Amino acid sequence: MKEKTIIQKLATKYNLPLTKVEDMVYHQFKYAAKIIKLGDFETIRLPYFGKFHAKKSRIAHINELKRRKNERLANGK
């Protein structure tokens, strides 16, 4: 079943606005994306879905890219 169909069924079953149900369904993924983008995390656990983590080398690489970007901005390039 497609996610929109599931969201529609939940909205109908609990008599809630479609946007409210979408917010509830997508909230955990938006939160996980926000934490991952910060880069300062060890593991994110989404109950009944799994654990997500980034390799130390990947975090170091992303931090290096951010540092270089900040240097370029500071130098006016």
User: Among residues 28, 70, 71, which one has the least CA distance to residue 50?
Assistant: 28
Q: Is the dihedral of CA 34, 62, 42, 55 positive or negative?
A: positive
pTM, entire model? 0.56
The domains of the chain are located at 3-74
Contact (Cβ atoms closer than 8 angstroms) between residue 22 and residue 7: yes
| pLDDT per residue as tens digits for the range 14-68 | 999 999 999 998 998 898 888 877 767 778 888 888 988 878 888 788 889 889 9
Contact (Cβ atoms closer than 8 angstroms) between residue 43 and residue 53: yes
